[in-house]
Amino acid sequence: MAIQFGTYYTLIFAAVVLLVGKFLVQRIRWLREFNIPEPVAGGLVAALISWGLNATTGVQPSFDTSLQTAFMLVFFSSIGLSANFAKLREGGMGLIVFLLVVMVFIVVQNSVGVALASALGLDPLIGLIAGSITLVGGHGTAGAWGEVLENQHGIRGAITLGIACATFGLVIGGLIGGPLAKALIQRNDLRGPQGDGTHGALEAGTPNFEFPHKTRLITADATIETLALFAGCLAFAEFMTHFTAGTAVQLPTFVWALGGGVLIRNALDYVFNFEVFDRAIDVFGNAGLSIYLAIALLSLKLWELAGLAGPLVIILGVQTLVMAAYAGFITFRVMGRNYDAAVLCAGHCGFGMGATPTAVANMQAITNQYGASHKAFLIVPMVGAFFIDLVNAVAIQVFIKFFG
């Protein structure tokens, strides 16, 4: 028996999830020590409650996912609106190097998935479903490519498998990023800018999302202006999604939302000389991120994950170990073996197994404890939200061509 909760109830439950997560992280020491993001902590409790209801009564709670999509678009719009060209230049060579590191990882992830699927007697394309299609790509890519694999390559249940794998990745990405970064920081005796393990001061020019619990002073006028900017980003994203549908430049809606934010922000900065109120964008972006993650985990159906075939569980388990090892040994070393590199590893685990919002939440958990990492917060959102989808689409097509 399914129980459908509408928009308002979904928002109420999401707020409760965030409050529970905050309470748990404040009260349970190991959650703080392992830097588990608050939405992940609260979301897993909600998922366990849903699983308990389903196991004992057969009830299947279902929530309005339109809100999840809307807040995801708000989050990506806030990334674009905070990225003027001056900030993008700050990313510099580090952004290019990190993108190359991530590109290599996509090849590794898909190679592992295909090899294990073949060794376990499965269609190699199922290895792609348990590879970058779902782990780097997330739920949206899982649905899109699942339909292609079902209709064109005869992989039965590809969409269901994809959604389950993407959900697994979303949870695992939020669980391994913080502990890995913490281990790297402690093992290499690294220090953030403050060097004392406390929250850093909120300085001018600090990238959005870096200190989500800091107080931001905003006004009603700034709030209205910022809402208008977000509406412009979402309108642009909706228009471009429909306009480019079926063409060579078709991209996910959230990529257009981010791109629209970049265009609007820089047009206001350099054409109209209008000062954008970054603190308001920061508040909306953090709120969108938290609510998106809360609803995503609130909607997690553990009974569907429990039904995954044994071989697929093995593949996903190995992919988790590969992600942690790659981030710890490759990403960390290539990016400089310093504090910024450790925070970048937390972010890489987030979108390498789950989604960019998970990556940002992972990095927030680290910077809240150890201090700011401007470089990581400039690089990860841009690579994880924009470039990675383009690279991933090409990689998936190449692998399907060879193994399809």
Q: Which of 171-185, 199-213, 215-229, 243-257 shows the highest mean pLDDT?
A: 171-185
Residue 34 lies in a domain: no
Residue 64 has pLDDT above 70, yes or no: yes
- pLDDT for 90 equals 62
Task: Report the C-alpha gap between 169 and 319 in whole angstroms.
Answer: 9
pLDDT band at 337 (very low <50, low <70, confident <90, very high): very high
Residue 371 lies in a domain: yes
Residue 199 has pLDDT above 50, yes or no: no
Residue 210 has pLDDT above 70, yes or no: no
Give the mean pLDDT of 296-304.
Answer: 74
Residue 377 lies in a domain: yes
pLDDT band at 293 (very low <50, low <70, confident <90, very high): confident
pLDDT band at 197 (very low <50, low <70, confident <90, very high): very low
- pLDDT for 209 equals 55
161 to 138, 147, 393: CA distances (angstroms): 12, 11, 19
Give the mean pLDDT of 131-144.
Answer: 79
Domain extent at residue 242: 66-403
Residue 41 lies in a domain: no
| Burial of 300 (C-beta count, 10 Å sphere; 0-12/13-18/19+) | buried
Helix (H, G, I), strand (E, B) or coil at 404: coil
- pLDDT for 203 equals 44
Q: Which two tokens stand for residue 347?
A: 């972010």
Beta-carbon contacts of 403 under 8 Å, excluding residues fewer than 6 positions away, are: 114, 124, 125, 128
- pLDDT for 161 equals 78
Q: What percentage of the chain reaches a pLDDT higher than 90?
A: 27
Residue 74 has pLDDT above 50, yes or no: yes
Q: Are 259 and 243 in contact (CB under 8 A)?
A: no
Residue 145 lies in a domain: yes
Residue 194 lies in a domain: yes
**Pairwise pLDDT comparison (204 vs 138), residue with the higher score:** 138
Task: Report the C-alpha gap between 162 and 165 in whole angstroms.
Answer: 5
- pLDDT for 102 equals 94
- pLDDT for 205 equals 43
Q: What is the pLDDT of residues 345-354, one digit of tens each?
A: 999 999 899 7
Residue 100 has pLDDT above 60, yes or no: yes
Residue 214 φ/ψ region, left for φ over 0, alpha for ψ in the -120 to 50 degree band, beta for the rest: beta
Residue 106 lies in a domain: yes
Closest CA to 158 of 134, 129, 137, 127: 129
Task: Report the C-alpha gap between 3 and 53 in whole angstroms.
Answer: 11
Q: What percentage of the chain reaches a pLDDT higher than 70?
A: 86
**Pairwise pLDDT comparison (161 vs 234), residue with the higher score:** 234
- pLDDT for 306 equals 60
Residue 42 lies in a domain: no
- pLDDT for 80 equals 82
**Pairwise pLDDT comparison (217 vs 229), residue with the higher score:** 229
Q: Which two tokens stand for residue 72?
A: 């995801």
Beta-carbon contacts of 352 under 8 Å, excluding residues fewer than 6 positions away, are: 102, 105, 109, 135, 136, 173, 323, 326, 327
Residue 116 has pLDDT above 90, yes or no: yes
Residue 195 has pLDDT above 50, yes or no: no
Task: Report the C-alpha gap between 393 and 388 in whole angstroms.
Answer: 8
**Pairwise pLDDT comparison (288 vs 233), residue with the higher score:** 233
Number of domains in the chain: 1
Q: Are 53 and 61 in contact (CB under 8 A)?
A: yes
- pLDDT for 89 equals 67
